[in-house]
Amino acid sequence: MQKLLMSMAGLFLAVACVQAQLWPKDPATATAWRLDADSQWLQEDGAMVLKVSVPPERAAGMHGASMGIDLSPYHGKQIEVSCISRHEKLSKPSKGYLGFKFMLSFVSNGTRQYPGGGGGLSLPADCDWRRVGFIINVPEDTSGALFNVGLQEGSGTVWFKELGIREVDIYPTVVELPEGFRCEYGDTVTKLPILRGCMSPGLAEGAKAEDLEELARWGANVIRWQLNAPKETRMDKERYRAVFRRHMKNLDEHIPLLTRLGLNVIVDMHCPPGGRYRDGIVGTAGTLAGNVAVNESNCIIFFEKDYLELFVDVWREFARHYRDVDIVVAYDLINEPTQYNEVPHDYLTCQYLAAQAIREIDPDKPIIIAANEWSNAKAFTYLQPLPLKNLIYQGHLYDPGEFTHQGVGPGNMEKVLRGELKTYPGEFGGHYYDRETLRKILQPIRDFQLKYGARIYMGEFSAIRFAPGAAQYIEDAISLFEEYGWDWSYHAFREWHNWSVEYDENPRNNEPATSDTERKKILLKYFSRNQKRP
């Protein structure tokens, strides 16, 4: 997403940041918007309509209109940005954030943020008028906000009208907290040493004893035990429950070995019942969210009560089964929740319901609460602590994604093999990233920790093996976690060779390295600090 601004820079210049009429009422008020050659204003039934038409031969780059906007009236607030749009003959985008473009970007904490953008890979080629939108939590330091509407790296014709902003409250207070609230921890947490380890393999076929023994030899003292569900089982409630019972059986078979190795387990529900929506326009989610195009990554439990009830009930079953199993040290309720719209059941309420159900059965074992927006650090600015004992709060770190995820996704490996690689430390999206930049990115988590006395767990972080500077990135990230006293697990151990520290930096070499890579040496260095539980 960060390279998006770079591609737009030659075509669009933001006007002076003056809070103006967002959408023109007539041609005289349209001058705040800058148009390129593929765009024009029309008047239809007394309303101003922007038409952007791009032929296939000119699909490269960004096409449409832009306008700078002053977001200072919305600092610290949630806003919904929406418009009415239709399109025809849209080309299939290569990535979800390309093609149809309706986006408001801004600068916060020294980096440009892209909270809303493309229409997603499931967007049909033709669509009648519909309302599309997204919701932003506007940071207090927001500046340089820029609207962009049109088409990026795609062809077709798209029309826009009635763009507007309204204040919303999509993350309501789950429970009122007393003034000066501080998280409460008992011996189960306070006597638990700092956890340093790795994310597990996918475990679809069950864990392998030799893998667990190897991770223990490295010195890791925790494994984030990934519980996933095949796509075809996620919507079938009975099949979903059966999958998780098989996961429990698999874990049970390895409890004696894990106990002997001293390898603690964090049980991670990597896929909640129902999974995530993949249709960005229609469906139950779109209807319940006010007919706003739902972000493809929204979890179904946010909308469908029966799937939420199954989510809570599966955790009840896990709690009954593992409450007296010491080596299972925490319940990780949901992996990377992504709520971007008004929903019947917000991301934190879903976790609170599950946590309450667990506490009725297991009063002490730690429960891990995930921050929103893929557990992004910025989501800690509005994350509310919950009034239950022994809750740990989870963040993930993959910033900047343009560095950490090089080669990930369709077609991106071709760029890697051509040598088109980006280096850390370095500049991404017009901003320089180094250890101090990572510190700024993580600051919302640190602020949350200090304000509420919360224990923090960085459940995932990584850099793809062939990214130049990946070892330095991992070192910088872990050193900050250590400075702040956070638990952490590297993503991932023997899940995919391109994340693995057991494979070298050559993207053409898909065989394990014959000696320890620099990335592995860093993990081993920090694992050497681990302590066994008393």
Q: What is the CATH number of the domain that holds 136?
A: 2.60.120.260
Q: How far is CA 261 from CA 191, 213, 495, in A?
A: 19, 7, 20
Are both 212 and 150 inside the same structural domain? no
Number of domains in the chain: 2
8 Å CB contact between 264 and 332 = no
* Whole-number pLDDT of residue 341: 78
State which residues form the domain around 236. 187-527
3-state SS, residue 319: helix
Residue 465 lies in a domain: yes
Alpha carbon 332 to chain centroid, angstroms: 16
DSSP 127-190: EEEEEEEEEEE--TT-EEEEEEEEEES--EEEEEEEEEEEEE-SS--SS---TT------HHHH
Are both 160 and 272 inside the same structural domain? no
Residue 176 lies in a domain: no
- How far is 48 from 398, CA to CA, in rounded Å? 41
3-state SS, residue 450: helix
DSSP 14-72: PPP-----SS-SSGGG-TTSEE-TTEEEEEETTEEEEEEEE-GGG-SSEEEEEEEE--G
- Cite the beta strand spans of 388-506 per DSSP E: 391-397, 426-428, 431-433, 455-461, 487-490
Q: What is the CATH number of the domain that holds 396?
A: 3.20.20.80
Are both 48 and 135 inside the same structural domain? yes
Q: Which sign does the torsion angle of CA 408, 411, 416, 422 carry?
A: negative
8 Å CB contact between 393 and 417 = no
Buried b (16+ CB within 10 A) or exposed e, 26-59: eeeebebbbbbebbeeeeeeeebbbbbbbeeeeb
* Whole-number pLDDT of residue 399: 94
Residue 124 lies in a domain: yes
Are both 296 and 326 inside the same structural domain? yes
Residue 178 lies in a domain: no
Are both 373 and 478 inside the same structural domain? yes
- How far is 344 from 325, CA to CA, in rounded Å? 35
- How far is 500 from 508, CA to CA, in rounded Å? 14
- In tens digits, the chain (534 residues) has pLDDT values of 333 333 333 323 232 333 346 899 889 889 999 999 999 999 998 899 999 999 999 999 999 999 999 999 999 888 988 899 999 999 988 777 789 999 999 998 777 888 766 677 778 899 999 888 888 889 889 999 999 999 999 999 999 999 999 898 888 899 999 999 999 999 999 999 999 999 999 887 788 999 999 999 999 999 999 999 998 999 999 999 999 999 999 999 999 999 999 999 999 999 999 998 753 322 222 322 222 334 567 899 999 999 999 999 999 999 999 999 999 999 999 999 998 878 899 999 999 999 999 999 999 999 999 999 999 999 999 999 999 999 999 999 999 999 999 988 767 888 899 999 999 999 987 889 999 999 999 999 999 999 999 999 999 999 999 999 999 999 999 999 999 999 999 999 999 999 999 999 999 999 999 999 999 999 999 999 997 655
Are both 155 and 24 inside the same structural domain? yes
Residue 180 lies in a domain: no
Are both 67 and 209 inside the same structural domain? no
Are both 350 and 456 inside the same structural domain? yes
Residue 222 lies in a domain: yes
Are both 121 and 209 inside the same structural domain? no
